[in-house]
Amino acid sequence: MNPLGRTFGLTGGAGSGKSTVAGMFAELGARVIDADRVAHQVIRSPQPAYHEIVREFGFEILDSEGEIDRKRQAAIVFADPEKLKILNAIVHPRVMERIEHLAEGYLLADPKAVVIVDAALLYEAGHAERFHKIIVAWSRPEQQIERLMARMRLTREQAELRIAAQMPAEEKRRRADYVIDCSGDLETTRTQVNDLFSKLQATAAS
């Protein structure tokens, strides 16, 4: 059985407001699995992915403690689509394996739990169809750029590269089962999340 078939995927472009939406769902009682946090875990030494990444990208991506420096790694892969594909091929299968394990655990503990997987690249990695429904957090492209520049202290060029490496926001919005519009204020976003959570609870209970 695919445990993800009983869960909901949450995705959106960089700077879309996805993490804010995930936090709101968690406050309401959803079990949220953060794919980025899982990715941090699977690339740490001495995990197999760590050794594959170092072999592929060299020791210069390591920090002073010998762990992978994600900022150095990002600077390389977001400037080179082929290297980004290589990195994703190493990391994504291991991340999804761990996510499946976590989702299964939540559902065994509570079969009616609303389990949400917060992951930026569900469509790009071809995993969207594995979930029961997909929720997309959406914002205008200029808002995405501004948020990335402010939150991550990126230059405009760096922010644009990150966004360009992902599927266009409008395409994700078109494919979504549900859309949370994060282009307004936080309370407007929260109202949408509250309304949707009620629907997810009903779906999970059935």
pLDDT at 1 over 80: no
Could you report the per-residue pLDDT of 109-156, keeping only the tens digit for each?
999 999 999 999 899 989 999 999 999 999 999 999 999 999 888 899
Edge-to-edge, what's the strand order for the sheet holding 8-11? 31-34, 115-118, 8-11, 133-138, 178-181
Q: Is the pLDDT of residue 40 over 70?
A: yes
Residue type (1 letter), 51: H
Tens of pLDDT, residues 46-95: 999 999 999 999 999 999 999 999 989 988 998 898 999 999 999 999 99
d(CA 38, CA 28): 22
- Summarize the confidence of residues 92-115 as an average pLDDT: 96
- CATH no. for residue 12? 3.40.50.300
The pLDDT of 173-191, averaged and rounded, is: 97
Percent of the chain with pLDDT over 90: 88
Can you give the residue range of the structural domain that contains 42?
Answer: 3-205
Interatomic CA distance for residues 170 and 173, integer angstroms:
5
Domain count, the chain: 1
